[in-house]
Copies of this chain bind each other. A is one copy, B any other.
Amino acid sequence: MSQVKASILPGFIELLPEEQILFEGLKNTIETTYKKAGFYPLDTPVLEKKEVLLAKGGGETEKQVYELTKGKTDMAMRFDLTVPLARYVAQHYNDLSFPFRRYHIAKVYRGERNQKGRYREFYQCDIDIVGDEKLDLANDAEVISMIQEVFAAMGLEEITIHVNHRKILSGFFKALGMEDLTEVLRILDKYDKIGWEAVRDQLRDLGSTEEQEKKLYEFIHLTGSPEEKLHALEDLVAMNEDLKVGLDEMREILSLTKAYGLEEKYLDLDLKIARGLDYYTGVVFETSLNGHEQIGSVCSGGRYDHLAKHYSKKDLPGVGMSIGLSRLFYQLQEEDLISMEKKGPCQILVLPMDGFVKEAIDLSCRLKNQGISSFVYKEHGKMKKMFKYADGIHVPYVLILGEEEVKNQSVSLKDMRTGAQEQVAFNEIADHIK
């Protein structure tokens, strides 16, 4: 028989079973946190009409989209979960109650340049809240607070949420007389990589004055708590409408995050953050892991006031955030921030002596009925081979069942991590494990 080499596409990833268990653990933690906050689960097709997914058009994303054609239909694979959400709320507007709160944990596809820790198929774990015409700022505060909640649930307490507001940016630059916001922000975005001098040189090329550069330097180098920075900002330039709205909204949001129990130590007002310019309209945020800032943002999002503009005449403002879980999982391993202790697929593996498979199955079923995950190794063979299997799957407990054990209704339960063995009656095994 002619054979094909077993391999997956470059840039794609799959995990070994014991890694997959850890990944599922994180994914479940995120989902549980989202559910507890009353977000609906949502599931939309991976394949959509090309004209729908690319309604916005342009930009880097479009080049990365996986497109296909079947018959006369042009299709594309989703590259994020936000465009499908926009399409969904527009399409099902009459069947939804607003604010519509949903989480969506699923794979998205981008034909990006192949590089370490960046995958062409990866999980996004999103929450969004979408309003009908209006959406209170308390929702922005809730989403920001959820970041801390979900990372804490994953055991990642040491994070900083960097917040900014698009209207603070536009207001500030208007006040300075710098009108080409897009270009200025594109340059500013490079600050972390190239430093101030290089940023200033590029601004100079754009025609900036020394005064403008000085103010900008002060702007991005303000220090203190978010409130202190907002206060300092008021003295830095003359007030205008955008700036006022930005400052007011930012203060309102910060105040509401307190109500959500978010401590101030998790928040940093970072005036360099702009994010997608043609998309976000209010608060924007990124999240870094303290002491591991170089890995970049692990959770980002913000407020967009015109989510469904490509599909609906209604104004459907939203606020949301997204965790790129596949990349995060890679980074947590690289940075040694997650316990990679291998976990087995069940709690007790039952090893039958020759001729006692049925009794072993019966005991295993009884354990399952008592809420203990378990199965029987059924391949016969020597004890050594069986224990090698038990080791291989990292099962925490093993028990052996033979004539003696059935007669006494009692087994020797072995803790595979410590090697300790204990004699336990059949009907006490479940309690013993718990």
Binding site for B on A (CB under 8 A): 1, 3-10, 12-17, 20-21, 23-24, 35-49, 51-52, 55, 66-68, 70, 73, 75, 77, 87-88, 90-92, 95-102, 107, 109, 111, 120-121, 131, 134-136, 138-139, 142, 256, 259-261, 308-313, 344-346, 349, 357-358, 361-362, 365, 368, 371, 373-380, 389, 392-393
Q: A3-B313, A12-B47, A70-B111 are in contact. Are A40 and B345 (CB under 8 A)?
A: yes
* Closest chain B residue, CB of each to CB of A51: B4
B311-A107 in contact (CB<8A): no
Are B68 and A378 neighbours in the complex by a CB distance under 8 Å?
Answer: no
Bound CA span A134–B361, Å? 19
Q: Which residue in B3, B87, B107, B380 is a CB contact (below 8 Å) of A6?
A: B87
Query: How far in angstroms is the closest Cβ of chain B from A71?
Result: 8
Sample of 8 further A-B pairs with CB below 8 A, known A38-B375, A99-B379, A136-B357: A3-B311, A17-B96, A20-B41, A23-B43, A36-B371, A37-B375, A38-B373, A261-B362
Q: Would A37 and B138 count as touching, CB distance under 8 A?
A: no
Given contacts A358-B256, A362-B259, A379-B136, contact A9 B47 (CB under 8 A): yes
Let me know if B66 and A40 touch, CB within 8 A. Answer: no
* Chain B residues in 8 Å Cβ range of A392: 97
B42 touches A20 (CB 8 A): yes
In-complex Cβ contact of A357 among B21, B42, B138 (8 A): B138
How many copies of this protein are present in the complex? Answer: 2
A359's nearest neighbour on chain B, judged by CB, is B259
Distance of A344 Cα from B77 Cα, bound (Å) = 30
A259 CB contacts on chain B under 8 angstroms = 357-358, 361-362
Give min CB distance, A255 to chain B, whole Å. Answer: 8
Q: How long is the Cα–Cα vector from A39 to B66 in the complex, in angstroms?
A: 33
> Nearest Cβ in chain B — how far from A318, in angstroms?
13
In angstroms, Cα B251 to Cα A30, docked, is 46
Least CB distance, A253 to chain B, in whole angstroms: 12
Partner of A102, one of B17, B99, B121: B17
A66 — which chain B residues lie within 8 A by C-beta?
A: 47, 68, 70, 75
- Distance from A208 Cβ to chain B, minimum over Cβ atoms (Å): 32
Residues of B contacting A87 with CB < 8 Å?
6-8
A311 to B6, Cβ gap below 8 A? yes
| A48 pairs with B8, CB closer than 8 A | yes
Please determine whether A142 and B375 come into contact, CB atoms closer than 8 angstroms: yes
In the assembled complex, the CB of A373 is this many whole angstroms from the nearest CB of chain B, namely 5
A156 to chain B, nearest CB (A): 19
